Structure formats: C-alpha cells, structure tokens
Amino acid sequence: MVNKAFKIRMYLNKTQRNQVRQNVGCCRFVYNFFLNERINHYNAVKEMKSYQDLAYALPFLKREFPWMCNAESTSLQQTLKDMDLAYKSFFKGNGFPKFKSKKNNKQSFRMVMGIKIIDNTHLKLPKLGIIRVRHGFDLSSINKIYNATISLESTGKFFISISTLSEVKTKPMTGLNVGIDLGLKEFATYSDGTVISRIKFTQKYEKSLAFRQRKLARMKFNSNNYQKQKIRIAIVHEKIKNQRVDFIHKITSSLTDDYDVICIEDLNASGMIKNNRLAKSIADVSFFEFKRQLEYKTNWYGKTLSKIDKWFPSSKNCSNCGNKKEDLTLADRIYQCNKCGLIIDRDLNAALNILTAGTAGLAYSILDGS
C-alpha cells in the first residue's frame, strides 16, 4: 500500500468558481495574518508563539471577519498547519516563509473532511456541493480519501488532487541493471547503449510564445483583453509542461519495467540552473523531475534506485581500466583512454562508470548493514 494522489479536472458553475476563489482568498488571509503575528511576537519577546495559541485565535478571527465563514473550515486549519510547518522549518535551516500573493500563478487550498465520491463522474465537496469531473481512471477504486487539494491554475482551469492509500503491485524482476548518464545533447544514455533523444519542448513553442507576449505588451495593463491574453500565454506554458512531464513519465515507467537496479548521478539541478548560458536548456530537460519520479516509482514497484555522488568523475574515468583523463573537456564527445587505448562515446563511457559505481555502492551498503 502506497500513498497516491490523483489529479482530476473539475468543471464548476459560476457560483462554485466564485466559492473556490473566495476560499483561496480566505486561506491566503489566514496564512499572511498569522505569519505576521508570529513575526511580531518573536520580535517583541524573542520566543516562538506556539501553534496551539494560533489555533485558539482562529475562531476569534472568524468572528472579527465574518466573510471568513464562507470558507470551508478544515481548509483554514490546514493553512494554519502549513504556515506553522514553514515557520518552524526556518529554524532548521530552510528559507524563511514568504507572504502569499494574489499574483501567484497557482492558487490552492486543502480540505480533509466531507469529500465523497458520488459516481465515476461526480464528487461532492463541502461548500461546493456536487461537481462534475473528468479523468482517465476508475474513481470507484479509491477506498479512503485522506485529503483533497483544490487548485486554480493560471489558465483558469480548476483541479482537485485526491490523496489516498492505494495498493500497487510490484513489477516482475528482469535480472538487468542499468546506469544512466543524463545530458543536454541527448536526454539520457544507458549503459547498454540505448540513447533517449532530447526533445526541445520550450524551443518548439518559442515563436508562438513570443508572438503572444508581444501582443500582451501592446495592450492596456489589466484590461479585459490583457487578462484574456495572459490566459492564452498560460495555456502555451501549460502545454509545454504537460508534454515534458508526460515524456519523463514514459521513460521512468519503461525503466522500472525493464530493469531491477537503476543507477543515476545525484545531480544538483538547482545549482546547475544558475549557469546563465545553460539555465534554459537545463530547465527544459527537468533533471529534478526525472529523479523524483524514479525515486517513488522504484519504491512502488519493488525496484532499486542507486544514486552516486554528484562529484563522481563519471565522464573522466575510463570504463575499461579506470584511468582518469584530467584534460577532458566538454567539447570532447569521444573518449580516448591514454592508458588502455579505449575509444568510446563519452556519454556511454559515463553511463558504464555510473553503473559500476552504483552497483558497488549497493553491495557495500548491504555488507555494511545500512
């Protein structure tokens, strides 16, 4: 049994759409109000205000601002919990929580009670009533719903993500292991010689985006036509994102079908994207999303993911004799070993080294008992 989330498109009437927007606004107000309260309290007495004090104050805030009663009650409590978690994580070394803005591309809130499945095309939600949904799976297969996140995308579409505990069958073992070298020239090169070509999703729609953005720049700011044009631009960005995520889903699913042990480099995607020359290309290939999907899919289906250190010189080492070629540059696409004379594609050589290091790391962890 694993935790799964099903994201479903919702089709709301005008009243329901307004209700969602009001709920989002109430949750944003609660988050910002109590974050400000905590900051002021800490500046005054140099100690952290407890979550219990904030939760106790929430009913009094609703009395002071009666319009907050329009929001679903558990969504306000969940917002308060999210703020509390974000604030406490700052003292553990994470970034300080930011105040929420109306201008965020995605507005959402989470509820935990009263979510019911009517039939395969309808749900019943607190404050919203019965809503029509569209999806690609059987809703009746969902047993217990833990919570649901309702989101309003920048395209004007409404979605609900249902979190539930589902049974996932492990995939049959194949006895095969693979090392994967990720890159910008080719998306991935496997240690068995398979090459996954890179699709330049952003470049595919660059002209379309530029045309729409030029039109937006000539419009009166915040006019009706301005808002409509922003949605047209958001739809193009949504199309790029959906195609990219679908591409990665297909690759990660096929990897868990074909291999038992998958070895990859633990790349620092957030650090790599700071390179001004390569930031656009790195963002387009989504290394982080690829690693994220592999992590949970290998866990679901009984396969093993081995991550090697990001500083491991997979490209510079010879996969045949282990000799390290210090003078290797990015322009060298063919690896020529100075010691044993091996001539091999640079990415394939790196994938073979990743496989060797990944399987050796697994063997050591088993012997070490960790």
Same domain, 349 and 237: yes
| Catalytically annotated residue among 84, 206, 327, 347 | 347
Q: Are residues 74 and 132 in the same domain?
A: yes
Answer left, alpha or beta for residue 341, where phi above 0 means left and psi between -120 and 50 means alpha.
left
Give the chain's count of helices (H) and strands (E). 10, 14
Same domain? For 182 and 154 the reply is no
Residues 16 and 61 in one domain: yes
- Same domain as 186, residue 155: no
Q: What is the extent of the structural domain holding 246? A: 177-368
User: Does 203 map to a domain?
Assistant: yes
Instruction: Considering the candidates 119, 181, 257, 309, report the single residue annotated as catalytic.
Output: 181
The residue from 166, 190, 217 where one domain ends is 166
Tokens of 141: 């297969």
Low-confidence ranges of the chain (pLDDT < 70): 363-370
Residue 172 lies in a domain: no
Q: How does DSSP assign 198-260, residue by residue?
A: PP-HHHHTHHHHHHHHHHHHTSPTTSHHHHHHHHHHHHHHHHHHHHHHHHHHHHHHHHHHH-S
The total domain count for the chain is 2
Single residue among 141, 166, 191 that ends a domain in this structure: 166
pLDDT at 369: 54
Both 203 and 297 in one domain: the answer is yes
284 is catalytic: no
| Helices of type H across 218-368 | 224-258, 269-272, 279-285, 287-300, 346-368
Domain membership flag for residue 171: no
Pair 79, 224 in one domain: no
> Would residue 127 be called left, alpha or beta, if left means φ above 0 and alpha means ψ between -120 and 50 degrees?
left
DSSP string, 34-52: HHHHHHHHHHHHSSPPPHH
200 shares its domain with 150: no
**Pairing mode, strands 261-265 and 304-308:** parallel
Rounded to whole angstroms, the Cα distance separating 47 from 290 reads 41
pLDDT at 228: 95
CATH of the domain at 207: 3.30.420
Judge if 138 and 207 occupy the same domain. Answer: no
The structure's pTM equals 0.86
In this predicted structure, what is the pLDDT of residue 254? 95
Last residue of a domain, one of 166, 199, 228: 166
Is residue 181 part of the annotated active site? The answer reads: yes
Question: 273 lies in a domain?
Answer: yes
| Radius of gyration over every alpha carbon of the chain, rounded to an integer in angstroms | 25
140 and 267 in a common domain: no
User: Catalytic pick from 265, 266, 289, 368?
Assistant: 265
271 lies in some domain: yes
Of 101, 105, 125, 102, nearest to 115 (Cα)?
125
* pLDDT value at residue 103: 82
Q: Answer yes or no: do 282 and 349 share one domain.
A: yes
- Can you give the pLDDT at residue 365? 62
Please provide the size of the chain in residues: 370
> Active-site residue 47, yes or no?
no
314's CB contacts (< 8 A; 6+ apart) are 181, 265, 308, 350, 351, 353, 354, 357
% helix, strand, coil for the chain, step of 5: 45, 20, 35
Pair 136, 271 in one domain: no
